[in-house]
């Protein structure tokens, strides 16, 4: 299909073309060079300049007679036609394999299936990174299905118990309708998938998670530090270093600890009891590494409902046993998958885990021994960098948090700015995979044959171009956690960040001088307008009461509010309301405490200065993610916002939720203090109105 014509300056590596057909960023295109080769290129960028649409293309090369990939040596001729690339050309130039694990279709191609070499995962490690809900576990499910099809073993740490559904065929209608496109049919893997649980969570078709009851002294020391102080650890240390034994049961250790003189032993014993109570190390038989890792079998370690400390112990011991068995050649090469990996090998500063060290070791040495590590996380910034940087195959689904994007950019070679933008806006189910071939590939991940656990996608319609969260924005706090400590006094018990709801009404007005856009913010709890004067967030007083009046009452009150004081006759004549009717209106407004009478003049009790409000709009910039803290939901209904819009009568408007950050300090005497996390000012308004007191904080 013809999509355009080359214009402007060209080189053998780059050109631009005027777009006449339908084309998107990252699509593949073909054009002929002066030597008449068909050259594959990829769209890096598309810009619209008045009536002209221009696409810039990076050249990827061509395949010569012997299928060797080469770059053209002459610049493209302006005027040459540009076509959508056909699948054959893409496949040849990118060197894509026709066999291996089928994971999806190449985005931007007609129907080109993408295959990954499973050896790549076993020998090079994989990281799957994305925001929550954008398809990480789904992709891992696809990969596991392919492992089963290829008779390769894998063990998966499953903290949410979501992989048991691999056993069942995928019968979800909303997914089944895409199966023909991917040439997939429903299929369950009941025989091939084994589930392992802790004793207390055991169900009918699960097996028991169980290690040998003998532990080396190093293992005991490795597993305990999370609960023990150094004196307490030293008790155990002295026992194991004095003894001749190489291995101990928990009971043996406990007997020895009981003999110790130090009082600290009373803190050590409960920890040993806790370890014992998990049932992971008692006397009955145990899981043999060769049972877990065997041809064509996937072992799912279901840790749902297990305390985080114990989860880490399981990962530690299992990873260690399997790695040793693999080093000694007792089991075959396999893949070890860790979901929620930031909990098992956190980046320094984000907590400790007893499993960190062994996972780091596997990341750096596993590939030598044929133990592939796959880590999955929604928080790339929180996972140990040394682990992440060892994963040479990386799959990104959508990531938007700037810290997470930065850690991706830092840890992966070959990612450029263009790709960064791409990762921020990937739709559900589309992955950018680096490391399969030299080029990063955008892949429309295939539908699973087996059932996927979990809530249906937030976007089901194979899911293009919908923006998640796009109508929710957050003001980014300028006072961050370190700084808020300055405000802490002896009486402060705790502090926390909350996000206060504001509705941003962006209104477009047509004026004599053209378009004018004003943003107003409406307090989501009080219904008042909020604006920023100097360093202070100001709220109007009485707007919500005004809006609940009927039309004539409203007119009278607005008149008084904008003209200041006025007497009966002039109100009546200006607003063309009979004196009798005005009398009724005034007495109602007085009863509501909205007006006052002084001598014979009326005065408004509400404070609304629309000019001032519009002059001092909040212009702090917003971001689409949260720093931390809790969001307070708005109580304002749509019809109330409509009434505000009626006052201003814009030609067009847009309504977005924006959340404003406050630090709340809770004092031991029950007092709270509210600090504006942007200006650093105390907010007495919210405090005096007791607004936050009524919220569950």
Ligand X SMILES: Nc1ncnc2c1ncn2[C@@H]1O[C@H](COP(=O)(O)OP(=O)(O)OP(=O)(O)O)[C@@H](O)[C@H]1O
Size of the site for Mg ion (CB under 5 A): 1
CB of 296 to Mg ion, least distance (A): 24
Residue 125 and residue 104: Cα distance in Å, rounded? 20
Decide whether 135 or 346 has the Cβ nearer to ligand X: 135
- Does residue 316 belong to the site contacting ligand X (CB under 6 A)? no
The residue within the footprint of ligand X, chosen from 109, 137, 394, 422 (CB under 6 A), is 137
Q: Which stretch binds ligand X (CB under 6 A): 25-33, 65-73, 192-200, 453-461?
A: 453-461
Q: Are the C-beta atoms of 278 and 241 separated by less than 8 Å?
A: no
Q: Could you tell me the CA-to-CA distances from 176 to 75, 114, 121, 184 in Å, in that order?
A: 47, 20, 28, 9
Q: Which stretch binds ligand X (CB under 6 A): 113-121, 125-133, 232-240, 361-369?
A: 125-133
Size of the site for ligand X (CB under 6 A): 19
Residue 684 and residue 283: Cα distance in Å, rounded? 64
Residue 308 CB neighbours (<10 A): 15
Q: Give the DSSP H or E segment for 508.
A: strand 492-511
DSSP strand pairing (215-216 vs 113-116): unpaired
CB of 137 to Mg ion, least distance (A): 3
The residue within the footprint of ligand X, chosen from 223, 239, 240, 428 (CB under 6 A), is 428
Q: Where are the beta strands (DSSP E) in 512-578?
A: 514-523, 529-533, 536-539, 566-567
Residue 55 and residue 117: Cα distance in Å, rounded? 33
CB of 109 to ligand X, least distance (A): 16
The residue within the footprint of ligand X, chosen from 363, 447, 586, 595 (CB under 6 A), is 447
Q: Which stretch binds ligand X (CB under 6 A): 59-67, 317-325, 449-457, 676-684?
A: 449-457
- Does residue 452 belong to the site contacting ligand X (CB under 6 A)? yes
CB of 131 to Mg ion, least distance (A): 11
Decide whether 133 or 650 has the Cβ nearer to ligand X: 133
- Does residue 454 belong to the site contacting ligand X (CB under 6 A)? yes
- Does residue 544 belong to the site contacting ligand X (CB under 6 A)? no
What is the separation of C-alpha 473 from the centre of its chain, rounded to a whole number of angstroms? 15
390 contact choice in ligand X, Mg ion, none (CB below 5 to 8 Å, kind-dependent): none
Q: Per CB under 5 A, which of residues 397..416 are in contact with Mg ion? A: none
CB of 161 to ligand X, least distance (A): 12
Residue nearest to ligand X (CB): 135
- Does residue 4 belong to the site contacting ligand X (CB under 6 A)? no
138 contact choice in ligand X, Mg ion, none (CB below 5 to 8 Å, kind-dependent): ligand X
- Does residue 23 belong to the site contacting ligand X (CB under 6 A)? no
Q: Of all residues in the chain, what percent are helix, strand and coil, respectively (each to 5)?
A: 30, 30, 40
User: For Mg ion, what does the binding mask look like between residues 127 and 166, x meaning CB under 5 A?
Assistant: ----------x-----------------------------
15 contact choice in ligand X, Mg ion, none (CB below 5 to 8 Å, kind-dependent): none
Residue 15 and residue 75: Cα distance in Å, rounded? 8
CB of 145 to Mg ion, least distance (A): 16
Residue 403 and residue 387: Cα distance in Å, rounded? 17
Residue 311 and residue 319: Cα distance in Å, rounded? 12
Q: Are the C-beta atoms of 121 and 143 separated by less than 8 Å?
A: yes
Q: Which stretch binds ligand X (CB under 6 A): 52-60, 228-236, 254-262, 452-460?
A: 452-460
- Does residue 380 belong to the site contacting ligand X (CB under 6 A)? no
Q: Which stretch binds ligand X (CB under 6 A): 301-309, 444-452, 506-514, 595-603?
A: 444-452
Residue 208 and residue 201: Cα distance in Å, rounded? 9
The beta-carbon contacts of 564-571 under 8 Å, at least 24 apart in sequence, are 564/603, 564/604, 565/598, 565/601, 565/602, 565/603, 566/601, 566/602, 567/600, 567/601, 567/602, 568/600, 568/602, 571/602
Which residues, other chains included, contact 679 with Cβ-Cβ below 8 Å and sequence gap of 6+?
478, 535, 536, 537
Please name which of 24, 32, 175, 48 lies closest in space to residue 108, comparing C-alpha atoms.
24
532: which strand partners?
A: 537
Q: Could you tell me the CA-to-CA distances from 146 to 187, 189, 496 in Å, in that order?
A: 12, 11, 46
- The structure tokens listed for 560 are 């008084």
**What are the two backbone dihedrals, phi and then psi, of residue 182, each rounded to the nearest 5 degrees?**
-95, 0
Q: Per CB under 6 A, which of residues 165..204 are in contact with ligand X? A: 175
CB of 454 to ligand X, least distance (A): 4
Eight-class DSSP state of 380: G
CB of 351 to Mg ion, least distance (A): 20
Residue 76 Ramachandran class (φ > 0 left, ψ -120 to 50 alpha, else beta): beta
- Does residue 429 belong to the site contacting ligand X (CB under 6 A)? yes
Taking the chain, what is the end-to-end CA distance rounded to the nearest angstrom?
59
- Does residue 132 belong to the site contacting ligand X (CB under 6 A)? yes
The residue within the footprint of ligand X, chosen from 61, 135, 346, 380 (CB under 6 A), is 135
CB of 318 to ligand X, least distance (A): 21
Decide whether 158 or 384 has the Cβ nearer to Mg ion: 158
Decide whether 175 or 676 has the Cβ nearer to ligand X: 175
CB of 144 to ligand X, least distance (A): 12
Residue 439 and residue 434: Cα distance in Å, rounded? 7
Decide whether 186 or 279 has the Cβ nearer to ligand X: 186
DSSP string, 34-48: TT--EEEEEEEEEEE
Q: Which stretch binds ligand X (CB under 6 A): 129-137, 408-416, 475-483, 644-652?
A: 129-137
Decide whether 10 or 165 has the Cβ nearer to ligand X: 165
The residue within the footprint of ligand X, chosen from 138, 248, 336, 500 (CB under 6 A), is 138
43: which strand partners?
A: 57
- Does residue 378 belong to the site contacting ligand X (CB under 6 A)? yes
- Does residue 617 belong to the site contacting ligand X (CB under 6 A)? no
- The structure tokens listed for 390 are 């060892």
- Does residue 629 belong to the site contacting ligand X (CB under 6 A)? no
The residue within the footprint of ligand X, chosen from 17, 76, 102, 134 (CB under 6 A), is 134
456 contact choice in ligand X, Mg ion, none (CB below 5 to 8 Å, kind-dependent): ligand X
CB of 177 to ligand X, least distance (A): 11
CB of 343 to Mg ion, least distance (A): 13
Contacting positions for Mg ion (CB under 5 A)? 137
Please give the residue ranges that form the binding site for ligand X (CB under 6 A): 130, 132-138, 175, 378, 428-429, 445, 447, 452, 454-457
């Amino acid at each position: 299909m013809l999509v355009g014509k080359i214009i402007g300056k060209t080189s053998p590596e780059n050109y631009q073309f005027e777009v006449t057909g339908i084309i998107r960023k990252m699509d593949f295109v073909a054009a002929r060079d002066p030597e008449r080769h068909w050259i594959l290129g990829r769209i890096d960028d598309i810009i619209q300049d008045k009536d002209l649409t221009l696409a810039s293309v990076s050249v990827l090369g061509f395949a010569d007679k012997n299928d060797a990939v080469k770059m053209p040596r002459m610049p493209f001729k302006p005027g040459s036609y540009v076509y959508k690339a056909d699948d054959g050309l893409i496949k040849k130039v990118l060197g894509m394999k026709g066999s291996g694990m089928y994971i999806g279709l190449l985005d931007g191609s007609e129907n080109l299936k993408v295959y990954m070499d499973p050896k790549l995962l076993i020998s090079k490690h994989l990281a799957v990174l994305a925001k929550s809900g954008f398809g990480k576990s789904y992709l891992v499910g696809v990969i596991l299905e392919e492992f089963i099809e290829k008779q390769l073993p894998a063990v998966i740490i499953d903290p949410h118990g979501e992989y048991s559904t691999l056993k069942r065929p995928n019968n979800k209608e909303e997914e089944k309708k895409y199966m023909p496109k991917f040439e997939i049919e429903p299929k369950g893997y009941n025989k091939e998938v084994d589930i392992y649980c802790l004793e207390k969570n055991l169900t009918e078709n699960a097996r028991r998670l169980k290690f040998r009851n003998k532990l080396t002294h190093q293992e005991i020391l490795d597993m305990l530090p999370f609960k023990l102080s150094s004196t307490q650890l030293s008790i155990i240390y002295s026992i194991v270093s004095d003894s001749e034994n190489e291995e101990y049961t928990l009971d043996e250790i406990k007997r020895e600890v009981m003999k110790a003189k130090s009082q600290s032993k009373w803190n050590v014993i409960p920890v040993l009891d806790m370890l014992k109570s998990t049932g992971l190390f008692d006397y009955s038989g145990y899981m043999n590494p060769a049972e877990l890792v065997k041809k064509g079998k996937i072992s799912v370690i279901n840790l749902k409902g297990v305390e985080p400390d114990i989860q880490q112990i399981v990962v530690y011991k299992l990873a260690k046993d399997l790695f040793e068995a693999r080093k000694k050649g007792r089991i075959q090469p396999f893949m070890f998958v860790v979901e929620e990996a930031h909990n098992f090998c956190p980046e320094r500063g984000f907590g400790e885990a007893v499993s960190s060290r062994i996972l780091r070791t596997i990341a750096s040495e596993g590939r030598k021994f044929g133990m592939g590590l796959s880590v999955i996380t929604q928080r790339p910034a929180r996972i140990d960098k040394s682990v992440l940087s060892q994963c040479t195959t990386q799959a990104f689904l959508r990531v938007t948090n700037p810290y997470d994007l930065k850690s991706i950019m830092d840890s992966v070679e070959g990612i450029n700015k263009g790709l960064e933008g791409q990762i921020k806006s990937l739709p559900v189910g589309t992955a950018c995979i680096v490391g399969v071939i030299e080029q990063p590939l955008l892949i429309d991940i295939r539908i699973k044959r087996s059932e996927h656990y979990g809530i249906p996608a937030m976007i089901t319609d194979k899911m293009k171009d919908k923006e998640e969260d796009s109508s929710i924005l957050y003001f980014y706090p300028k006072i961050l956690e370190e700084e808020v400590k300055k405000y802490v006094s002896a009486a402060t018990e705790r502090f926390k960040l909350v996000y206060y709801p504001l509705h941003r009404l962006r209104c477009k007005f047509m004026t004599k001088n053209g378009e004018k856009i004003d943003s107003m913010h409406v307090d989501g709890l009080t219904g008042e307008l909020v604006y920023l004067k100097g360093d202070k967030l100001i709220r109007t007083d009485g707007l919500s009461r005004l809006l609940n009046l009927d039309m004539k009452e409203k007119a009278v009150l607005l008149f008084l509010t904008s003209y200041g004081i006025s007497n009966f006759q002039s109100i009546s004549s200006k607003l063309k309301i009979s004196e009798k009717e005005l009398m009724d209106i005034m007495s109602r407004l007085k009863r509501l405490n909205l007006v006052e009478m002084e001598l014979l003049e009326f005065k408004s009790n509400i404070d609304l200065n629309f000019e001032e409000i519009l002059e001092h709009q909040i212009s702090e910039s917003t971001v689409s993610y949260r720093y931390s803290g809790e969001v307070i939901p708005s109580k304002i209904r749509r019809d109330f916002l409509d009434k505000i819009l009626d006052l201003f009568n814009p030609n067009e408007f847009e309504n977005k939720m924006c959340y404003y950050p406050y630090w709340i300090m809770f004092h031991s005497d029950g007092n709270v203090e509210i600090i504006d996390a942007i200006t650093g000012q105390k907010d007495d308004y919210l405090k005096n109105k007791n607004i936050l007191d009524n919220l569950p904080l």
